[in-house]
Amino acid sequence: MELLPREEVALLLGSLTACGFLVLGLPDVLWPSAPVRRASPRPSKAPAALAVMKAPAPVEAPPLLPAPPSALGVGRLLLERARAEADLERRVTILTRAVAGLTQSTQSAPDDDELTATLATARTLLWQTWEEIALARLAASMPWGSTALGGQPLRLLTPPAAPSLTRRS
């Protein structure tokens, strides 16, 4: 018996492997495990009512979204909600969001005087709310309680003015 050269052995192994893949893949082609969806339906022996295909309904475009509200409108709405809020901690949260949004809008449009005035109002109201919270906590921590603060309503301080960045001559 004579040995086969390397090329013939490689060719034989490759041919046997290809035949094996063919044998293993043939049942999958003839009897697929999952139904395959095809682009065009094949004619079948179904009743005539099912054979008639209706055209799909046209897809409607989604409705257009309304335009987003302006930063000034949102700021004013938040200021109104903050003024109506009785809980001081919640009022601080609302005012902080208003100041953040108005500050960002003021930075993008620095010439808008109405926006700047609304931002100043929001900052003043936030400062006053912080003062109210501080006074309430101070009164609660005093040994005599809040009886000392029960008389005349206190006039709350306003926030200090921002320092001017221009040089004075």
Does 75 have pLDDT greater than 70? Answer: yes
Tens digit of each residue's pLDDT (9 = 90 or more) over 6-21: 888 888 888 888 888 7
SS3 state at 86: coil
Q: What is the mean pLDDT of residues 110-139?
A: 93
Does 103 have pLDDT greater than 70? Answer: yes
- pLDDT score at 19: 81
With bands split at pLDDT 50, 70 and 90, how would you rate the model's confidence at 140? confident
Q: What is the mean pLDDT of residues 76-104?
A: 94
Closest by alpha carbon to 121, among 99, 136, 100? 99
- Which of the two residues, 34 and 65, has the higher pLDDT score? 65
Instruction: Please provide the distance, in angstroms rounded to a whole number, between the alpha carbons at the two ends of the chain.
Output: 114
Does 164 have pLDDT greater than 90? Answer: no
| Integer Cα distance of 27 and 21 in angstroms | 11
Q: What is the mean pLDDT of residues 144-157?
A: 57
pTM recorded for the entire structure: 0.49
- pLDDT score at 83: 93
Q: What is the mean pLDDT of residues 105-130?
A: 93
Does 61 have pLDDT greater than 70? Answer: yes
- pLDDT score at 116: 93
Closest by alpha carbon to 117, among 128, 105, 129? 105
Residue with tokens 């912080």: 130
Closest by alpha carbon to 101, among 80, 82, 114, 118? 118
- Which of the two residues, 24 and 41, has the higher pLDDT score? 24
| Integer Cα distance of 21 and 127 in angstroms | 79
